[in-house]
Amino acid sequence: MSETKKGRLVVVGTGLRTTGHMTVEAIAWIKRADVVLYVVGDPVAEEMIAALNSNAISLQTLYSSDTKRIDTYNLMVDKILEQVRDGLEVCGVFYGHPGVFVYPSHEAVKKARSEGYSAVMLPGISAEDCLFADIGTDPATTGCSSYEATDWLFNLRPTEPASAMVLWQIGILGNEGYNPGGRYPTPMMPLLIAKLGQYYPLTHKVAVYEAAVQFGCTPTITWVPISGLATAMLTAASTLYIPPATQSVPDHAVHQQALAMGVMPE
């Protein structure tokens, strides 16, 4: 068994809104780390991190208008790894779930492991977790697929109208940048509507959803027909939730086989 080097990385998330979404485990790791490196856009999270650990450094300052986003992310990874290589116990804190729509967190964990350091990522509360709670739907009932909207539009992803589907970042469809809460032109929306029309009636009601990111506030849920997406008010934080449009089709062949094997429940 190979020996793990001194120096350790634990990546945690602040949840979508810090107050109420911080896990006890994340708080504990921030508290006990030798150094905390964080990327949060929220003053409550920043305040909390500063209160829990006096040796906390923001990586937000690495963003700059003349640096490519991927270069900034790689710089963040380097900064995190520098501290791990110094033999320190490092806590990386990211907004939301640290592993959902976050590149540098995954990359830092991979890199630290590849260099022989202990590295783990702890789950946080993501927008998807909020969506299931706020819309009141259980993905276990009919299943639920989840895609980034532009990715779904431009790729042949399996699409099953008898299951729910979530399309992320519908408000920045076709845009490369990302500004949470910002509004972008979405000239590709007619293409998305047309593609959805291949699977769903255009009258099918879908929810434009935005989780509440401020403590004590309510989420925004607007139901519109698919055809209404052309004029719906979308922001970069908008997510599209499409409930099932058809009944599930039983797989009769498997039913028959299960019956024949005598393993079919009553």
Nearer to other proteins, 64 or 248 (CB): 64
CA distance 104 to 93: 11
- Closer of 231 and 247 to other proteins (Cβ): 231
- Coil, strand, or helix at residue 68? coil
H or E segment to which residue 191 belongs: helix 189-196
- Per the annotation, the verdict on 63 as an active-site residue is no
Q: How many Cβ atoms sit within 10 Å of the Cβ of residue 216?
A: 8
Collapsed DSSP state (helix, strand, coil) of residue 56: strand
> Rounded to the nearest whole angstrom, what is the least distance from the CB of residue 153 to other proteins in the complex?
17
- Contact assessment for residue 48 and residue 15, using Cβ atoms and an 8 Å cutoff: no
- Tell me, residue by residue from 179 to 198, as one string, x for binding to other proteins by CB under 8 A and - for no binding: xxxxxxxxx-----------
How are beta strands 117-121 and 89-94 bridged, if at all? Answer: unpaired
Cβ proximity to other proteins: between 163 and 238 the closer is 238
Is-contact 76 38, C-beta < 8 A?
no
Of 136 and 216, the one with the shorter C-beta distance to other proteins is: 216
When the beta carbons of 11 and 234 are compared against other proteins, the nearer one is 234
Decide if residue 266 touches other proteins (CB under 8 A): no
Q: How near is the Cβ of 181 to other proteins at its closest, in Å?
A: 5
Q: Which of 8, 17, 95, 209 is catalytic?
A: 95
CB of 264 to other proteins, least distance (A): 46
- Rounded least distance, CB 7 to other proteins, Å: 25
Q: Closest by alpha carbon to 73, among 42, 104, 114? A: 104
Task: Among 33, 213, 240, 245, indicate the residue that binds other proteins (CB under 8 A).
Answer: 213
Q: C-alpha distances in angstroms, 183 versus 9, 132, 180? A: 36, 24, 9
Give the residue with the Cβ less far from other proteins, 116 or 187. 187
Selected binder of other proteins within 131, 170, 236, 245 (CB under 8 A): 236
Q: Confirm whether 73 is a catalytic residue.
A: yes
Calculate the alpha carbon distances from 232 to 168, 183, 207, 222, 229 in Å: 15, 12, 10, 9, 5
Residue from 2, 155, 198, 218 binding other proteins (CB under 8 A): 218
| 87 lies in the site for other proteins, by CB under 8 A | no
* Contacts of other proteins in 40-59 (CB under 8 A): 41-48, 50-52
The beta strand positions in the chain, using DSSP E, are 5-13, 35-39, 56-58, 89-94, 117-121, 144-148, 164-168, 205-210, 220-225, 239-242
Smallest distance, other proteins to C-beta of residue 126, A: 17
Binding site for other proteins (CB under 8 A): 18-20, 22, 24, 27, 41-48, 50-52, 60-61, 64-66, 177, 179-187, 212-218, 235-236
Catalytic residues, which ones?
A: 69, 73, 95
